[in-house]
Amino acid sequence: MRHLTSLLELTAEEIDEVLGLASSLKESAVEGVRPSRLAGRVLTQIFEKPSLRTRASFDAAMAHLGGSSQFFSAKDAGLGGRESVEDVARVISGYSDVLVLRTFSQTMIERFAEMASCPVINALSDDRHPCQALTDLLTIRETCGTLAGRRLVFVGDGNNVARSLAIACGRMGVSMTLAAPKGYEFDEEFLGLLAREVPGHDVTIESDPVAAVATADVIYTDVWASMGQESEKSEREAAFSGYQVDGALLSQAPEGCCFMHDLPARRGLEVSDEVIDGPQSVVFQQAENRMHLAKGLLVWLLGD
């Protein structure tokens, strides 16, 4: 049995298998074919934070594959309140074939996985967002044709999305530059982990966004204040002024460069309308791909 609490758990070959399954299930879906690969299987989602894409894409993925899904807010499930995380994990995994968890703490997902009798998927924690990063690899491969040798420039906070992208890019031979203001880059602990667990990665940090995008195949951004950081909003908006992905910044990148964002976007802050709605933006293809990736991942974890 495998879990996906962090992308560090997958090798490059395994990531390639998941992406291959996602692509072929996407092709079938486009032709109107939805093979019932997970008939009778039950997916349970438990979320401590709000979600549109993740929750809806896992529900839709399970329906496409002939299975069913159920959702609990963490409060309703009593996660860590009414009973211990470990007891919830043991009980709910007895009713489920796969569990999808969105939490504040990464440790909670790891504790859950430790006790669960079925695979546990991280649907975002403060530290990681592996399903998003896998989807982003799929979208980059569709848009650029290949992964190895491409360069992704993440303009913004060294947050959960950026960290999972760094692992994903490192595994698949994609160079990544994080363009972030001082104090919002990857910390030493994460850089040490990358060096140990993803040897050969090409992840660099650059404070000047204009210099960073000069050789970008992809410019990526995310919110400046993540869920749970609402009280830091003003301070972060001040720190990140000058880091908006707008037309002027995009014009400094090579012509064929595409724009990505995991969404939801704070339009007018980390990205301008002109860029997110412009011809180089692939954000809605990327959002749709969350469902195709979820299907590929579920079949990889549970399929015959």
157 binds ligand CP per the rule CB under 6 A: no
Contacting ligand NVA (CB under 6 A), which of 185, 217, 262, 270? 262
Q: Which of residues 187-246 bind ligand NVA (CB under 6 A)?
A: 222-223, 226-227
CB of 294 to ligand CP, least distance (A): 11
CB of 242 to ligand CP, least distance (A): 25
C-alpha pair distances (Å), 198 with each of 124, 180, 194, 201:
21, 21, 5, 6
CB of 291 to ligand CP, least distance (A): 11
Residues in the chain: 304
Token couple for 105: 């703490």
Token couple for 127: 């530290």
| C-beta of 121 vs 201, nearer to ligand CP | 121
Contact between 120 and 107 under an 8 Å Cβ cutoff? The reply is no
| C-beta of 54 vs 175, nearer to ligand CP | 54
52 binds, among ligand NVA, ligand CP, none (CB under 5 to 8 A by kind): ligand CP
Q: Which of residues 118-157 bind ligand NVA (CB under 6 A)?
A: 124
CB of 132 to ligand CP, least distance (A): 5
Contact between 36 and 295 under an 8 Å Cβ cutoff? The reply is no
Nearest Cα neighbor of 243 from 278, 227, 279, 219 is 219
Contact between 7 and 14 under an 8 Å Cβ cutoff? The reply is no
Site string for ligand CP, 251-270 (x = CB under 6 A): -----------xxx------
Cα(first)–Cα(last) distance of the chain, in Å? 13
Element (H, E) at 106: helix 106-115
Site string for ligand CP, 69-108 (x = CB under 6 A): ----------------------------------------
Q: Chain-centre distance of CA 82, in angstroms?
A: 29
Measured distance CA(217)–CA(250) in Å, rounded: 11
Q: Which of residues 32-71 bind ligand CP (CB under 6 A)?
A: 51-54
Torsion from C-alpha of 229, 221, 301, 97, nearest 10 degrees: 40
159 binds, among ligand CP, ligand NVA, none (CB under 5 to 8 A by kind): ligand NVA
Binding site for ligand NVA (CB under 6 A): 124, 159-161, 222-223, 226-227, 262
Binding residues vs ligand CP (CB under 6 A): 51-54, 124, 132, 262-264
